[in-house]
């Protein structure tokens, strides 16, 4: 079995469980909770290089880091190496992030139309140029997150090696193409091919739904760490159970209904403190269905939460599910 800790450049990562950057989800509150549940590394939701360049206040607010989050990686995206370099330099100078990650995997149309995210995977040369420029501009480790490719014509190995030769200190790959979006099955065979070619740490991502899946990602794919995304939504116990399973080989029990409800209320409370009541409730609505998944009588409660306008009302609704 691999040692629990590993390094990305000079940054010590205490275990091999990494939480994926998820747009609209991976805010400071979510990340701190993930850390408290045992994540070795959390990655911030992607931040636009143009937003940083124009000092957009909403963008700058996203750069806030809590001391409890370290080690943490801050992800940026863009299609122009000059503006990406400027963003990376600003991030290094004005935040306490330990790592800068370049997004080359986002499949959404808004990002693709800007010639960024997964669009960059069509040209390994462009991958090299972008990564090389950022690596040369900053002193902290630079990593890359990408997908296996744009469509069935994959450049997975070529793109990964381009990032490595450009100076990336680790690479995370989602086992789906851009065209797959989040549908279909992640191709772990391609991930295995990439893992075998790289000498830098390789982080496998896609269809890791259980602690046993995480172990397979490490042992069968050959990944150095496992990145967990959607499986951790409303379920931070996935991180706790995975870290414990990888370390001991023992499976912890699933959380009880009361534990889920208690955690949901705590998450809501922290979001309201951080974002204000209106925005906090709005963001919690995205997570409520995940927290309440599988709980008897939860369907009507989920619908009611989407109509609730005060923290107190949401708490009262959640309390109806407690035993």
Q: How far is CA 98 from the centre of its chain?
A: 15
316 catalytic? Reply is: no
CA 58/CA 110 separation, integer angstroms: 18
Residues of the chain with CATH 3.20.20.70: 6-248
Instruction: Give the class (CATH, top level) of 257-319.
Output: mainly alpha
DSSP characters over 90-125? HHHHHS--SEEEEEE----HHHHHTT-GGGGGG-HH
CB 225 within 8 A of CB 231: no
Tell which CATH classification among 3.30.70.1350, 3.20.20.70, 3.90.850.10, 3.30.70.1340 matches the domain 6-248. Answer: 3.20.20.70
Cβ count within 10 A of residue 275: 18
This prediction's pTM: 0.95
Per-residue pLDDT of the chain (323 residues; tens, 9 = 90+): 567 889 999 999 999 999 999 999 999 999 999 999 999 999 999 999 999 999 999 999 999 999 999 999 999 999 999 999 999 999 999 999 999 999 998 888 888 887 788 788 889 999 999 999 999 999 999 999 999 998 876 899 999 999 999 999 999 999 999 988 888 899 999 999 999 999 999 999 999 999 999 999 999 999 999 999 999 999 999 999 999 999 999 999 999 999 999 999 999 999 999 999 999 999 999 999 999 998 988 999 999 999 999 999 999 999 998 75
The DSSP H or E segment spanning 272 is: helix 257-275
Token code pair at residue 212: 């046993």
Residues of the chain with CATH 1.10.1200.80: 257-319
- H helix intervals, 151-256: 156-165, 188-197, 211-216, 237-248
Cβ density class 93-132: b for 16+ within 10 Å, e for less:
eebebbbbbbbbbbbeeebbebebbbbbbbbbebbbebbb
Catalytic residue among 106, 161, 170, 228: 106
């Amino acid at each position: 079995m691999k040692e629990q800790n590993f390094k990305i450049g000079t940054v010590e990562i205490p275990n091999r469980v990494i939480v994926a950057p998820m747009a609209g989800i991976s805010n400071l509150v979510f990340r701190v909770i993930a850390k408290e549940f045992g994540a070795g590394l959390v990655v911030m939701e992607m931040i636009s290089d143009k937003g940083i360049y124009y000092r957009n206040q909403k963008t700058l607010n996203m750069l806030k880091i809590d001391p409890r989050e370290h080690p943490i990686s801050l992800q940026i995206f863009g299609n122009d190496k000059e503006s990406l370099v400027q963003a990376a330099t600003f991030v290094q100078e004005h935040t306490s992030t330990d790592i800068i990650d370049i997004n080359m995997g986002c499949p959404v149309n808004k990002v693709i139309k800007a010639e960024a995210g997964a669009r960059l995977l069509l040209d390994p040369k462009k991958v090299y140029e972008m990564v090389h420029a950022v690596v040369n501009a900053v002193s902290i480790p630079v990593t890359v997150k990408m997908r296996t490719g744009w469509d069935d014509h994959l450049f997975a190995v070529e793109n990964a090696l381009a990032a490595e030769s450009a100076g990336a200190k680790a690479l995370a790959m989602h086992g789906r193409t851009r065209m797959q979006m989040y549908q279909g099955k992640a191709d772990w065979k391609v991930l295995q091919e990439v893992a075998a070619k790289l000498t830098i740490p390789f982080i496998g991502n896609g269809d890791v739904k259980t602690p046993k899946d995480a172990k397979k990602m490490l042992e069968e794919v050959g990944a150095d760490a496992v990145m967990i995304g959607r499986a951790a939504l409303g379920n931070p116990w996935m991180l706790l159970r995975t870290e414990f399973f990888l370390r001991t080989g023992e499976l912890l029990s699933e959380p009880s209904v009361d534990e889920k409800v208690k955690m949901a209320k705590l998450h809501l409370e922290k979001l309201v403190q951080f974002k204000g009541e209106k925005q906090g409730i709005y963001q919690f609505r995205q997570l409520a269905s995940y927290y309440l998944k599988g709980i008897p009588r939860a369907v009507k409660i989920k619908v009611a939460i989407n109509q609730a306008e005060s923290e107190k009302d949401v708490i009262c609704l959640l309390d109806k599910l407690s035993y």
